[in-house]
Amino acid sequence: MTVSPRLSLTALRRALARRLDPDRGRPGPIPGPAPAPPPAPVADDPVAQDDLDVQLERLIRAITARATTLAMDGSFYHEVGPAVAGDRLEALSAEDLLAAAFRPGARLLDFGCGAMHSRPFIESLGYAWQGVDYLDSVSSGVRDEVARLGDAAVRFYDGRVLPFADGEFDVVWAMVVLHHVQHIDLSFGEIARVLRPGGKLIGQVAYLEQMQDYGTFNFTPYGMKVAAREAGLRLTRVEPKHDAFVFLLRRLLITLTASDETPFNRMMGPDGAVHRALIETGRRLGLDIRTINLLRLLFCTHFVFEIEKAP
């Protein structure tokens, strides 16, 4: 059977839906002693023979191939644009920003440090590390480890008032944690208080990610700017991270299979296929670098940020 290599957008979408939800439109399963095996691929369906990552990449390219112009919200461009890189398409990570912010003798507060996974990297940069976390959110294992290390290593608090003096830290590190706070204004105000003048808040936060692990308030890039401004801080840098299409389909598979080995893994991050397709589309449309980066940021589940306290 000869198949045209160019499939319609509708055919691609239907094929992707069939693979992700093969029982769509069928009656629910009859209760029995064991679940039925998954349906076999349709032999004469050319898309069904491909891996899911290939299907998704084809779908994204079919969509971006239709691009003729860019219809972007003006507020997004004007409010967030100044914090987005206009001279490079390489997306910096939170770790990149943290390394660039280091100064000899700098003290860092790991806000929401959890099991202290970031500590070795942070100390390898030369920072004096201090952890803090909300007491009710940490596991008994973490509490036992903190007890072993002593009170100086990690401090627990009530989720409201940080147990540190004004201006005690040069950097506050908030890695995938701010969308778990319950009191946004209060938390940002406390972070601002413990930062020295000229200090920085650096990290990564959820934007279009689904709820997980007691998530409360996901941030838009503009929402991050507003929260910082209300605390007397200034959003100075925003970098795109995982695109929403790959991240959420990967998370869907993980949710339904309890395995993080998915065909989408290779597509994750700002160097993945979706970001490449958006960059190529932006270039074809004649967009400048800042606008291309804004287009990428618009469809991310997470973004990297840097926020400064005035000197």
Q: What is the pLDDT of residue 227?
A: 97
Distance CA 90, CA 239 (A): 9
pLDDT in tens, 245-261: 999 999 999 999 999 99
Outline where DSSP puts E strands in the chain: 107-111, 128-134, 154-157, 169-175, 195-206, 233-240, 302-309
For residues 164 and 274, the answer to whether their CB atoms sit within 8 Å is no
Cα 207 → chain centroid = 7
CATH code for position 106: 3.40.50.150
**Residue 192 DSSP SS3:** helix
A 10 A CB-CB count for 235 gives 22
Q: How many domains in the chain?
A: 1
For residues 242 and 268, the answer to whether their CB atoms sit within 8 Å is yes
**Closest C-alpha to 72, from 299, 275, 242:** 299
In a domain, 49, yes or no: no
In a domain, 213, yes or no: yes
Burial of 289 (0-12, 13-18, 19+ CB in 10 A): middle
In a domain, 50, yes or no: no
pLDDT in tens, 194-242: 999 999 999 999 999 988 778 899 999 999 999 999 999 999 999 999 9
Element (H, E) at 265: none
**pLDDT of 35 over the 80 cut:** no
- Please report, for residues 41, 49, 53, 65, the alpha-carbon distance to residue 44 in angstroms, rounded to integers and kept in the order given: 9, 9, 20, 26
In a domain, 262, yes or no: no
Q: What is the pLDDT of residue 124?
A: 98
Supply the range of the domain harboring residue 164. 74-241+301-309
In a domain, 227, yes or no: yes
In a domain, 196, yes or no: yes
In a domain, 216, yes or no: yes
Distance CA 226, CA 307 (A): 11
Q: Which residues contact 212 (CB under 8 A, 6 or more apart)?
A: none
Strand partners, 216: none
Tokens at 126, concatenated: 């030369």
- Please report, for residues 13, 39, 78, the alpha-carbon distance to residue 48 in angstroms, rounded to integers and kept in the order given: 12, 12, 43
In a domain, 209, yes or no: yes
pLDDT in tens, 53-100: 999 999 999 999 999 999 999 999 999 999 999 999 999 999 999 999
pTM higher than 0.95 for the full model? no
Distance CA 302, CA 177 (A): 11
